[in-house]
A and B are shown apart, each in its own frame.
Chain A
Amino acid sequence: DVKVTQSSRYLVKRTGEKVFLECVQDMDHENMFWYRQDPGLGLRLIYFSYDVKMKEKGDIPEGYSVSREKKERFSLILESASTNQTSMYLCASTPGHSGGQPQHFGDGTRLSIL
């Protein structure tokens, strides 16, 4: 089974802090994704990566950056955390660039910015 592991289930940080969310997958997947999930808004794509050191902006990249130094690890960085970034953050991965493989998700990090 594919395992996508997010390093923290719950995280509390202060406004202005630099925050790192880590995600690791164990199935050698090329593609990795970061979403945030808010009530009534559903899943929104922040950034994705289709290869090491490659990144693409999703629908809501403002205030975020990402890093993919190794194939199995994809980090989301909040450069200067703000209260409107309080949310559930979900990491996902999928193999290849085409074909029918669906995404596999981690269990999420519930981030609170005070």
Chain B
Amino acid sequence: QKEVEQDPGPLSVPEGAIVSLNCTYSNSAFQYFMWYRQYSRKGPELLMYTYSSGNKEDGRFTAQVDKSSKYISLFIRDSQPSDSATYLCANRKGASGGSYIPTFGRGTSLIVHP
């Protein structure tokens, strides 16, 4: 079992829909949780970053972490065609040897059609 799992999709939604992207992990040592957005032929860019369980909101984006279930979600409200990209979930352990190396999921492809 891969440490960080994502459904590869593609997930296709109409413009304006609420999108839910999900990620599960198996290592309870993970303490930092990140979402990256990657457009075609570009590098991943950091979208959301959180340390604890609960919700973190930034504009149309909300990251939700449930450590008890080892389940991470990214919600996108009022989705736009410009949100079409691959979304990578990444998790990191706390302060210990090699802790700065994250484990990435394989990404979920999102298509928002007009």
The distance from the CB of A44 to the nearest CB of chain B, in whole angstroms, is 9
* B114 on the A face (CB < 8 A): no
Known contacts A45-B101, A100-B49, A102-B32; 8 additional CB pairs below 8 A are A40-B106, A41-B106, A42-B107, A98-B94, A101-B100, A102-B34, A102-B46, A107-B43
Q: Does B8 contact A (CB under 8 A)?
A: yes
Task: Verify B43–A106 contact, CB threshold 8 A.
Answer: yes
A42 near B44: Cβ-Cβ < 8 Å: no
Say how far B63's CB is from chain A's closest CB, in angstroms: 12
**Contacts A43-B88, A90-B43 given; does A97 touch B104 at CB 8 Å:** no
Q: Which of B34, B41, B95, B106 is A99 in contact with, Cβ under 8 Å? A: B95
Q: What's the minimum C-beta distance from B42 to chain A, rounded to whole angstroms?
A: 5
Number of residues of chain A lying within 8 A (CB) of chain B: 26
Whether B8 and A97, one on each chain, are in contact in the complex, defined by CB atoms closer than 8 angstroms, is no
List the 8 closest pairs (A to B, CB-CB), nearest first.
A42-B106, A105-B43, A98-B95, A107-B43, A43-B104, A105-B44, A108-B43, A102-B34
Contact of A42 among B41, B43, B99, B104 (CB under 8 A): B104
Is A110 interfacial (CB-CB < 8 Å)?
yes
B43 & A96 in contact (Cβ 8 Å cutoff): no
A55 at the interface (CB under 8 A from B): no
> Is A104's CB within 8 Å of the partner chain B?
yes
Tell whether, in the assembled complex, residue A90 and residue B44 are in contact, meaning their CB atoms are under 8 Å apart.
yes
CA distance A48 to B92 in the complex (A): 16
Whether the Cβ atoms of B42 and A98 lie closer than 8 Å is no
| CA distance in complex: A99, B31 (Å) | 10
Whether A25 is near chain B, meaning CB under 8 Å from some CB there, is no
Q: Shortest CB–CB separation between residue B45 and chain A, in angstroms?
A: 7
